[in-house]
Structure 1
Amino acid sequence: MLHQTGGLSEPNRLWRDLPGIALCALIACSATWTALLAGSAVVWGLIFGLVLAAIWSPPALLKTGISFAAKQVMRIGVALLGFQISLSTLQVLDVADVAAIVINVAIILAVGWFVGPMLGITRELSLVAAASVAICGASAAAAVACVVMRNDSANRDVACTIGAVSIISSAAMILYPPLVQMAGLGPAAGGIFLGGTIQEVAHAVAAGYSVNPETGDMATVAKLLRVALLAPACIAVSFFASSGGASPKPSLPLPPAFLVAFVVAALLNASGLVPRELSQATAPLSRFCLVMSMAAIGLTLPWRSIRAFGLKPIMLLLILSVVLIGSSLIYVTYGSS
């Protein structure tokens, strides 16, 4: 007898999910192609999903696959992000640089923890927003949301946060390089600033190389160090989130499987066991998975739920970005060797 899950055998379950997954993949392809002209594929995936849902209601045949893409494909994308981590990250930066980036991540998570509720935002959403600014934009928001968010508005909050932080990151890619030049920062300091403050990996890399190749190299390394902090940050956030809940004796939570996969992928890549070609191929695949999940979330969200998101979380994202800019400038101006 075949193994049963939820009343369906695994092969039947795959066939059941395939049409919805294929639809999300098609939307993700359209979003990726559109992003070659302008904007972020993540944002376009969300917009295309929202527009399609506004004019057409997906039939029952597609809904299980859409749900799979919104949750499981997102986790797969985060796990694949681990293949971008290598030992060269730590070899290029000195101890002070690594410490400064780690401290900045901790500062932003702490500011989000305290300031978010002061603005009337739930602590869970505050942590998702803080992680998106502190670590790696959309991927971090998705990962932390998978760990801490459990309510019915989670899809809306994650989608809106990812859309907003992607737009902020796009603006940073344009605005921060002139700031580096105005501040007179050299390649090392400028790269650490750009890689340490811009949310999305692609935007940080593009901003660095728009200054010069040396700044681009350093920005890439600094940004990948922030990506490497995703797993420990998620585990810490999960623990502190549970500490602040109703449970009187919180215990250290077991990390979700996708975070374990992220760490394993990072260790394998850092050890040199992963062929370079495979490591390079996982970067666009990870991004495509995230775009697919955004398309799936867009297909499940009514416009009225987007309006209900409000301006306060966006205000929090901007506050966190300003704090990160300030702390990073202080380090590269006075503390960087």
Structure 2
Amino acid sequence: MATHQGRRPADPTGTGGPPAWLPGVGAAGAAALLAWAIHTAVPAIPLLTASVALGILVAQLPSARGALTGTLAPGLSLAAKKFMRLGIVLLGLKLSLVDIAHLGWISIVTVVAVLVITFVATLWLGRLFGLPGHQPLLIATGFSICGASAIGAMSHVVKSKDEETATPVALVTLCGTLAIAVLPLLWHPLGLNSLQFGHWVGASVHDVGQVVATAQIAGSAALAVAIVVKLTRVLMLAPMVAITSVVMRKREGAPTAGGKQPPIVPLFVAGFIFAVLVRTFVPLPASVTDAADTVQTALLAMALFGLGTAVRLGQLVRTGWRALLVALLSWTLIAALGWGAVQLG
């Protein structure tokens, strides 16, 4: 399992003391509670956005860096990897294929088209601007599908390092937060009614929480449309990750002695698909779905705090201007395409 840059791995000797991951997981849990408190006090700030922001803020404190790369490292890495995957599995329980079918085939096709065009164009832009490593793929995934959660899922498949994943997470959080402020200002000037605005938000804003924060100002009907459209994009996480996994297998070729290829469908993606099918065909009581939503939110909040602690803003400002430009171009593109999809619908 990859660790944060410079972090020590968990002590494998087993001295009988508390698990090495406990301090970091505890810190991530405390940060998730603080993010929940911030969201409760200011509902316009999505809980997951607050979690990433807290991680980024802590990472900039010189007094905290020793702990982040030492005592807290194993637990933060565990949260950023394992908790992210578990949260994505539970995210599937938000999705009902019946609700998505109610959008109609034209809306579904346009939502998928916007996603694919944004993904391909952002990947091309990332490579055009010479972004290093897996950054073009991770930025394309986050901006086209479902924000930081999608980046976490894709990073598992391509086995990117935490610090390589951190920049796309920071950028998708920044642009999603900008969307909360900017899109409502364009609602009436663009001549959209409330339902069209909800569709636009669902088709173009990255994280589910950011979609809720943006669309709710237009009323409950707009919010409902935005969530269904957004979850249609989330559903595309499974095939996009699976396709990437197949490509990775072909690139790596036959496994070497003692090695193995990545699975065609990662286990957590299979779990996500299973959760979608359960939600679609099994009548789950509200208490079960509410509990699953709470656990899912907590897991993703802890995971995103862990990823946020790998961001170094100073380094991002010095070397990440190209990534920022790609992110802003991608954000503008998906907003424009989403608006066009609304006109077609």
**Which of the five TM-score ranges fits, normalised by the shorter chain?**
0.7 to 0.9
Is the counterpart of residue 203 in structure 1 residue 210 in structure 2? yes
Aligned sequence identity (%): 23
CA distance in structure 2 between the partners assigned to 1:37 and 1:160 by the alignment:
28
Secondary structure of the structure 1 residue equivalent to 2:21 = helix
Matched residue type, 2:331: S
Using the TM superposition, give the Cα deviation of residue 201 of structure 1 relative to its aligned residue in structure 2, in angstroms: 1.0
> How many equivalent residue pairs?
325
Deviation string for 1:269-318 (max 9, x for gaps)? 11124332222333343232222123334445666654565111121111
Structure 2 unpaired stretches of 5+: 1-10, 256-260
Contact 2:52 2:170 in 1 (8 A): yes
- Are 1:192 and 2:199 matched, yes or no? yes
Answering whether residue 56 of structure 2 is matched by residue 47 of structure 1, we say yes
Shift of 1:179: 2.0
Show CA shifts across 1:10-59 (max 9, x none).
Answer: xx798343233112211222233234445432333322441456435228
Instruction: Determine whether 1:312 maps to 2:322.
Output: yes
Q: 1:270 and 2:280 equivalent?
A: yes
Distance 1:302 1:212 in 2: 38
Equivalent AA in structure 2 for residue 45 of structure 1: L
Shift in Å, 1:117: 0.7
TM-score by length of 2: 0.82
SS at 1:15 equivalent: coil
Structure 1 gap ranges (5+): 1-5
Matches within 5 A, 1:3-152: 15-37=19-41, 39=45, 40-51=49-60, 54-58=63-67, 62-122=72-132, 124-150=134-160
Q: Is the 8 A contact 1:173 1:207 kept in 2?
A: yes
2:180 is the counterpart of 1:170: no
Structure 1 residues 180 and 19: alpha-carbon distance in aligned structure 2, compared to 1, 3 A threshold? same
Question: Residues 98-137 of structure 1: CA distance to partner in whole angstroms, max 9, x if unpaired?
Answer: 0111111111111122221110113621111111111111
- The answer (yes or no) to whether the contact 2:145–2:233 under 8 Å persists in 1 is yes
Matches of 1:100 and 1:88 in 2, distance apart?
18
- Partner amino acid, structure 1, of 2:19: W
| Secondary structure of 1:57's aligned partner | helix
Q: Which residue identity lines up with residue 30 of structure 1 in the other structure?
A: L
Distance 1:240 1:46, change over 3 A: same
Deviating more after overlay: 201-210 vs 101-110: 201-210
Contact kept? 2:58, 2:64, Cα under 8 Å: no
Taking only aligned residues, the RMSD between alpha carbons, in angstroms, comes to 3.0
Q: Which amino acid aligns with 1:156?
A: E
Residue type matched to 2:21 in 1? D
Output the amino acid matched with 2:271: A
SS of corresponding position for 1:279? helix
- Residue 227 of structure 2 is aligned to residue 220 of structure 1: yes
Residues 144, 206 of structure 2: 8 Å contact kept: yes
Write the deviation string for residues 232-286 of structure 1: whole angstroms up to 9, x where unpaired: 121123334555x47599x995221111111111111111243322223333432
Counterpart-to-counterpart distance in 2, 1:80 and 1:286: 6
- Mapped partners of 1:168, 1:226: distance in 2: 17
**Is the CA contact (8 Å cut-off) linking 1:45 and 1:294 kept in structure 2?**
no
TM (normalized to structure 1)?
0.84
Equivalent position amino acid for 1:157 in 2: E
Given that 1:142 and 1:158 are in contact with CA atoms closer than 8 Å, whether structure 2 keeps it comes out as: yes
Distance 1:30 1:190, change over 3 A: closer
Give the alignment partner of residue 236 of structure 2, picking from 229, 236, 257.
Answer: 229
Residue type at the aligned position of 2:55: L
In 2, Cα distance between the equivalents of 1:214 and 1:36?
A: 22
Match of 1:283 in 2: 293
1:161 alignment partner AA:
P
In structure 1, how many angstroms separate the alpha carbons of the residues matched to 2:311 and 2:212? 32
Q: Identify the residue that residue 3 of structure 1 maps to in structure 2.
A: none
Q: Is the 8 A contact 2:199 2:229 kept in 1?
A: yes
